Chain A
């Protein structure tokens, strides 16, 4: 099916429509030229015939005499395609060729009056047959010096002319069809070759969208480089925007967290030295902790952004291993057995910082609460949606062998800033931040009891392919 939304279809359709028109016009003009050439040739031939008749004519007693048998054999045969007559001043036949013996008299009716010295060439119907007629008016001077007018008239049937035109037309169309088909075939090849860079660009953009590459290639034809370089600039701009955003967040965190830390430290010192009444101290500590929680939560959930169209897909495996390697140092005393089962197809389409927040918070909790063993599993792939569209999916499951959480605690922890265990700072915020980042990517978080005995956290993401 040819679709109007496809450039290839449009060009193919245009070629298919234009080619017959061009072939038709070409055939008409060539046939016309051939026909004109044939007519000119015919006229020239008949003129020569007339001259030959005049050359053989002789005036005797004011009457032209011509030999009975002419040098042109066609004029001597009955039923010939060609015949000739000589008319006197009264348009009476003063001589006729042998080939004209069986022709009716109405041959004269087709003639027109012409002046002396003038010739006429026309096509007319004589005895229901298409015929060329050539007339030439001359004056013959008699011995007495009197100018006697005569007309030499040559007739020739158009059958031969028509046959030649017909043959030419047949050959012409045969060749035009062959050339037309060859042109269509060549056009398709040219279209394929000419549109190949566009196909490459489409594949390249898809590769960027799927995260297999960061930039479009720079080897496109000059007509496309303006587009590709603009897209690349856009990608760079978006990347630098993200970097600037991250740096601004880091600066903001540094600017806010240090004063909060100083206040916390001062309050701690005041508490040790009994410098403030306990109720005042408790209230100040509580409010400072509240500020810290709000700031921490808001800064941590200030994520890099949901899956933008051009975001590189990040493989889960190296990021998870990098975080696990770091956490092993922190929790070196726990001697945990760590199971990692992450398939190569498990990729995250989003900001790397967001992925690190997700895995970092969940793995840190698993290391913190896990006893003996923790596990991380991830897999990805393509699934078909209800509407028939293809979706990429990612499932991450992190389990620990810790004490786990009650259903009530699980519900509370998903919500922002609520802490299950205030003695261990960060627990509540970590899961709430994870929940918020997952929501930003239209994903789902679910908590359950792990096969290892503790908490199992599952994250599910889907993206349009």
Chain B
């Protein structure tokens, strides 16, 4: 998942980015409103964290222009003063949630996970698919109640596919959303990760959770049975 972090305070932006990277999320960052607008309109972003008090273009203006341009990724606004006038203005401009500074990283991550779940239409953070259980908050996967060892990248690939249920995801899309902008990209690596994931999730080859659609990409086909 690719997160755009828009914050003018360099130190705080770096801290947020580090915390998100630590959770296996891919990062894009912007230090002002204009840069944020450009990245949001031109790069594949899954979720954005936008500070309201930005130089050049305010956070509310950035979100309004994204929505006007048809950009629909979920957005979490950060507000320093925490006044309701700012929050309501931000939310009604198109943001999906708010967080008042200062915040605990855990709270930020919980809000991001909740927003990401909404993309996939899941109300709960714990998803069960025919024996495969994925805990989006704890970032843990188990098969038939046995914990599964996944690398951060394998988990990110699975999470991205799960949050796009029934949708075909191309290798290019996966690469764009799982790697940072300046990362060396190799689509063959994706094939390797997906191959390993299949083996770990479905060692007997009975469920076939990730389908390959030749020339198009991958699709997660299992139906969820959510549990809290």
Give the B-binding residues of A (Cβ under 8 A): 249-250, 253-254, 256-258, 260-266, 268-269, 288, 292, 296, 299-300, 322-323, 325-327, 329-330, 332-333, 352-353, 356-357, 359-361, 364, 425-426
Contacts and interface: CB of A to CB of B under 8 A. Distances in A.
A265 B88 contact: no
28 contacts: A249-B81, A250-B80, A254-B80, A254-B81, A257-B101, A257-B102, A258-B101, A261-B102, A265-B12, A265-B15, A268-B104, A269-B15, A269-B18, A292-B102, A299-B82, A322-B88, A322-B92, A326-B92, A329-B95, A329-B96, A330-B97, A352-B85, A356-B83, A356-B84, A356-B85, A357-B83, A357-B85, A426-B82
A164 to B, nearest CB: 88
Contact of A325 (B87, B92, B106): B92
Contact of B80 (A258, A264, A268, A322): A258
Interface string B101-116: 1111111000000100
A436 B19 CA distance: 36
Contacts of B103: 261, 264
B81 to A, nearest CB: 3
Interface residues of B, number: 34
Contacts of B194: none
B100 interface: yes
Contacts of A256: 80
Contacts, number: 103
Contacts of B81: 249-250, 253-254, 257, 299-300
Nearest to A263: B102
Contacts of B92: 322, 325-326
Contact of B104 (A249, A263, A264, A330): A264
A364 B114 CA distance: 17
B118 A332 contact: yes
A148 to B, nearest CB: 120
B16 interface: yes
Contact of A330 (B15, B19, B85, B98): B98
Closest 3 CB pairs of A and B: A360-B84, A253-B81, A261-B102
B100 A296 contact: yes
A260 B102 contact: yes
Most chain A CB atoms below 10 A, which of B85, B98, B107: B85
Contact of A356 (B88, B101, B107): B88
Interface string B29-53: 0000000000000000000000001
B16 to A, nearest CB: 7
Contacts of B88: 322-323, 326, 356, 360
A353 B123 contact: no
B91 interface: yes
A266 B84 CA distance: 27
Contacts of B107: 425
Contacts of B82: 253, 296, 299-300, 426
A274 to B, nearest CB: 15
